[in-house]
Amino acid sequence: MASFARPSLLRQTAMASRCIARPMVARTAFARAAIHTSSKRCGLLPPGPQVVHGTVNDPAPVPTPNAAHGSYHWAFERALAAGLVPLTIAPFAAGSLNPTMDAILCGALVLHSHLGFQSVIVDYFPKSTYPGVHKLFWWLLNLATVTVGVGLYEFETNDVGVTEAIKRVWKA
């Protein structure tokens, strides 16, 4: 019934289901016109290969157990994230600047960011589907992590430090 009243509704929903980018709607005082995207520009990357290995009745492969992955890895990430809360509040609540506390905060922030971006790469660019892109982003993440770590070290040793900089910006 909705398609009888608005024939463009079916066209818009069909395009939205085919493409990642939904059609944009320009809203002006004079007219409301839908700007449709073509199917050639739907995604940034083409869809991954649709390959089925084996048959439907084959069992799923069970990965080998590894202490660095799975529940231990998840528990470490959550403990690090929970530890950031007191590390972030303590320097400002105590009122004193401690370079050791500042260094621990910076190290925890860098490690937390690295693990978060690592999860993004694993989720969105799996090694089995995009091996080249996965490796490229993995190396870019490692390079960015080292760059940020060196930058924070330089800021901590040759400048005022992170907590003092935040205090100064907050009072400005």
Binding residue ranges for a ubiquinone:
124
As a whole number of angstroms, the distance between CA 151 and CA 107 comes to: 12
Going by the annotation, the residues of the binding site are 112, 124
Residues paired with 32 in a beta bridge: 27
Residue 63 CB neighbours (<10 A): 8
Q: How far is CA 63 from the centre of its chain?
A: 25
Beta-strand relationship, 24-27 and 32-35: antiparallel
DSSP letter at 64 equals P
Closest CA to 124 of 109, 139, 138: 138
111 with 152: CB under 8 angstroms?
Answer: no
Going by the annotation, the residues of the binding site for heme b are 112
